[in-house]
Structure formats: structure tokens, C-alpha cells
């Protein structure tokens, strides 16, 4: 089976990567690391370069996990991108990182994480970075 890990180079992305690799190690899954920032441009801080992608695959390999990086561009619809990648990989699980938010921030609706949790048809593991 396969696990799709949503990854951007942030503490939340690192938490998702670590949790996804741990889950894959325990269950013998392969991993697709999905790096799909909102705007696919060379100056987007969330878009990883090939050297970083290679490093992520090396980290997975060191954990005994077969992995590849997917740089899908989702424009404005992250749910469709995750859904498409998860379906193509026959994923049994999607792992996403959540950033810590203030009580006021929790009232804001329409976040990407919220949309994924509500709309994706694959089980989701949502993790937070350590404090």
C-alpha cells in the first residue's frame, strides 16, 4: 500500500513527513511525498528544489521506506490534487501537518487543512509539530 504525505518545508511539513515515514515503516508502505504549494513558481518558498527532493527520498530510504516526490501543481484546488495523487497511488492514508493556531485563528474557515479533512475520501492523519 501507499501513503501520501503532504510536504512543505515548514515545521508542520516536517511533522507530517516524520509521522508518514513512521507509519510507512510500521506497515511496510511506500510513500509519495506531495509537494504542491498553491503557486508553482521558482520563488515560492514552499516549492522544494530537486536537491531537497533527493534529501527527502534519502531520509525515507534511510528509514527503510521506498519514496518518490510528486510536484503536482494544484492552483487553487488542493483537495483535487491530493485526491488525484492519492487515487493514482492507491493510497490507504494521507498525512498532513497542521500549524498551531491561536483561538481566533481557529475561527477562520476555509483553510486548506480543513477542506482536506472534510472533503478527501481517504483516511487522513493530521499531525502538529512539537512545541
| Mean of pLDDT values over 40-45 | 51
Residue range(s) defining the domain that contains residue 85: 2-127
CATH code where residue 103 lies:
3.40.50.620
pLDDT for 70-84, tens place per residue?
A: 987 766 688 889 999
Residue 47: C-alpha distances to residues 57, 88, 124, 125, 126 (Å): 16, 21, 22, 22, 21
- Predicted confidence at residue 15, as pLDDT, reads 97
Say what percent of the chain tops pLDDT 90: 63
Tell me if 16 sits within 8 A of 6, measured CB to CB. Answer: yes
pLDDT digits (tens, 9 = 90+) for 89-114: 999 999 999 887 666 555 554 478 88
Total count of domains within the chain: 1
* pLDDT tens, position by position, 43-61: 455 788 899 999 999 999 9
Amino acid at each position: 500500500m501507499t501513503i501520501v504525505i503532504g510536504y512543505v518545508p515548514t515545521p508542520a511539513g516536517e511533522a507530517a513527513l516524520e509521522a508518514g515515514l513512521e507509519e510507512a515503516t510500521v506497515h511496510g508502505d511506500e510513500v509519495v511525498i506531495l509537494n504542491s504549494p498553491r503557486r508553482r513558481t521558482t520563488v515560492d518558498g514552499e516549492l522544494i528544489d530537486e536537491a531537497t527532493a533527493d534529501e527527502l527520498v534519502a531520509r525515507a530510504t534511510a528509514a527503510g521506506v521506498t519514496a518518490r516526490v510528486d510536484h503536482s501543481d494544484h492552483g487553487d484546488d488542493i483537495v483535487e490534487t491530493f485526491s488525484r495523487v492519492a487515487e493514482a497511488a492507491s493510497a490507504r492514508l494521507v498525512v498532513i501537518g497542521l500549524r498551531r493556531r491561536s483561538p481566533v485563528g481557529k475561527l477562520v474557515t476555509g483553510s486548506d487543512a480543513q477542506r482536506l479533512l472534510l472533503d478527501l475520501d481517504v483516511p487522513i492523519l493530521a499531525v502538529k509539530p512539537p512545541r
